[in-house]
Amino acid sequence: MRTLKFKMILFLVLSALSPSLSAHNLTISCPHREVTFTVELAQTPDKLMKGLMFRHHMEGNEGMLFLFPQPKAAAMWMKNTPLSLDMIFCDSHGKILAIHENTTPYSLRTIGPVENTAQVLEVLSGTIKKHEITKECRLMLKN
């Protein structure tokens, strides 16, 4: 009985910490191909501020999508972020406004601002090049 209780508590703790529980499918649709990612949404003030800070691992098909309540001149940084990232700034319709590749981990340098940004997708560094993502592509959140 004690082992079962421990396993239940461990499951609940891990479930609460697991980003995959709030995972959504996002497709980047390009003229001749589509690429699908599993993304964690950052919509609350806390999530928008923290983002991927302190994350030491992310799979190649994972990312974080920052959704802003209103389009704005958005800027990002890499404070406390050990992973090098690619960033895609988009408007509210998923049109790509700007792409920034191979960010520097832990950098306080501002990336942007990019006017009219409603969402920013962060994926592992090298993803843009690997999938040949350009401004002709479009982001589409599936669920």
Q: What is the mean pLDDT of each run of 10 residues along the chain (143 residues)?
A: 41 38 88 95 92 94 96 97 98 97 97 97 97 96 78
Answer whether 54's CB lies under 8 Å from 100's CB.
Answer: no
Answer whether 21's CB lies under 8 Å from 10's CB.
Answer: no
Nearest C-alpha neighbor of 43 from the set 19, 67, 70, 64: 67
User: What DSSP designation does 31 have?
Assistant: T
pLDDT confidence of residue 142: 80
Quick: pLDDT tens for 4-27: 343 333 333 333 344 434 789 999
The architecture that CATH gives domain 22-141 is: Sandwich (2.60)
Q: Where are the domains of the chain?
A: 22-141
Count of H helices and E strands in the chain? 3, 7
